[in-house]
Each structure stands twice: as C-alpha cells, then as structure tokens.
Amino acid sequence: MPQEHAPGLVIQGFTPPLKLQDFKLAAFDMDSTLINIECVDEIAAAAGRKEEVAAITEAAMRGEIADYKDSLRRRVALLKGVGVQHMQEVYDRRLQLNPGAEELVRACKQAGLKLLLVSGGFTFFTDRIRDRLGIDYTRSNVLEVEAGRLTGRMVDQPWGDICDGAEKRRMLVETCQRLGISTRQAIAVGDGANDLPMMGEAGLSVAYHAKPKVREQAMVAINEGGLDRLLEVVRP
C-alpha cells in the first residue's frame, strides 16, 4: 500500500532512505517534469490553436489516447505556419525550470550519475535544456522547418520517427547498456502516461505532479513541492 512519507510525498514498494550513489543514471521527461510547460501547447498559442492542442495533450498524458504517435502528429499538424521566432519567444518568456530541478540535477552529478533527457517534445527545447543543465544524453523529436516556419510535420531520425513511450523505454535501456549498468541502477522521472514504459524499466520510478495513472504506478510520487524532494528519500 502506498504510504505518505511526508506531506505530499507518497512511497510504495520500498523502505526509504535509499542512497543516490547506488544509482548510475537519472532519466527525466521534460515537459511538465523538468520544465513548467507543455511546449507544444505554447507553440500552438501562436497559431491560435492552444485550446485545441492542449485538449489532445491532456488526454494523451492521462493515457486516454492509445496511439501517442498519432496524437502528436495531430498536434504538430495544427502548428503549421508558426514561425521559429515564436518558439524562441516560448523559450524566453514562458519556459521555466520547475522548482528543485537544478538542485536535483546538481546532486545527481555530484553523486556520479549520468543524466538522460527523453521527451515527446522537440529538439528546439531539449537541446537548450541539455546545455543549460549539462545533461549527457537526449532523445526527442525534430520539427520540420521551411523558410523559417513550421510545416506541420516532423523529421524522421536515424533511430525512428517519434519519441513515444516505447522509444523512451528503449533509450533508457540503450543508455544503460552503453554505460555498462543494469536498468535497476537507473532512476526515471516523469508525469505522463508516455513515461510509464521507462519508469517501469527503472530501478526507481518517480512521478512528479503527475497524472493519476502515473502516480498510482510510481514508487515515489511527489505531489507537493519541487523535484528536489526526491532527495528526502534518495539521500546524497
């Protein structure tokens, strides 16, 4: 049975505290996990389609849409014609790191963990967050741009077409293999249904202000406060 370890912090499946040094990799979702927004929704605002796109995003994150790839294609199609400058405005004006993100990342680095950012979002944002936080590995989607505007399509990459839940899991497994570690030595942090495959593979799964389905399945659910609350149960 899940037990509230402290107000807004729920734990199931283990007895805290754990040691951060016992893990070798921390994998993070981006939108609504490391950062405060869903980037696709904010880009859609520039096209006057935010409400429509946000409704699809919410349903996908709650696990109410079975085909994540189709849901993302539908949302990206609605972004057609948005200028790249609008994405920069989203980054500059709307995007913020979630509370405790920098503190948790710093503690992971000091404990010797490598960092992985896996996102159903877009490289325009993941590349900037990677550089900002000093993240080691990333995987996300590429928006197609022509003449400075989005075409409403994504670009296929060598590893596949879209980073969905299955691809997040695969990237976690591949990164662990690259590092020569077990997936049990990985921490996975997310908030949406598409994070569940990688969370199920990791040795420690963490739900951050997550959808109900994700909170129910995670070993740690942070329902109040910042990401650094994980350090209350996984001690540096």
> In whole angstroms, how far apart are CA 103 and each of 34, 100, 109, 122?
11, 5, 10, 24
Cα maximum dimension of the chain: 55
> In whole angstroms, how far apart are CA 115 and each of 30, 96, 128, 172?
12, 19, 15, 10
Q: What is the 3-state secondary structure (H, E, C) of 145-213?
A: EECCEEEEEEECECCECCCCHHHHHHHHHHHHHHHCCCHHHEEEEECCHHHHHHHHHCCEEEEECCCHH
Query: Is residue 48 over pLDDT 90?
Result: yes
Ranking 43-47, 167-171, 184-188 by mean pLDDT, the lowest is 43-47
Overall average pLDDT of the 222-233 stretch: 98
Query: Is residue 26 over pLDDT 90?
Result: yes
> Taking Cα atoms as reference points, which of 98, 100, 127 lies closest to residue 34?
98
Average pLDDT along the chain: 96
Residue 2 is predicted with a pLDDT of 78
Please write the tens of the pLDDT for every residue from 95-110.
999 999 999 999 999 9
Residues with Cβ < 8 Å from 92, sequence gap 6 or more? Answer: none
Contact call for residues 72 and 38 (beta carbons, < 8 A):
no
- CATH number of the CATH domain containing 62: 3.40.50.1000
Q: What percent of the chain has pLDDT over 70?
A: 100
Domain span at 79: 3-235
Query: Is residue 145 over pLDDT 90?
Result: yes
Interatomic CA distance for residues 140 and 152, integer angstroms:
16
The domain total for the chain is 1
> Taking Cα atoms as reference points, which of 145, 207, 143, 135 lies closest to residue 171?
135
Parallel/antiparallel/unpaired status of strands 204-208 and 3-6: unpaired
Burial class (CB in 10 A: 0-12, 13-18, 19+), 149: middle
| Tokens representing residue 169 in the block | 């899991």
Active site residue ranges = 29, 31
Residue 1 has a CB neighbour count (10 Å cut-off) of 3
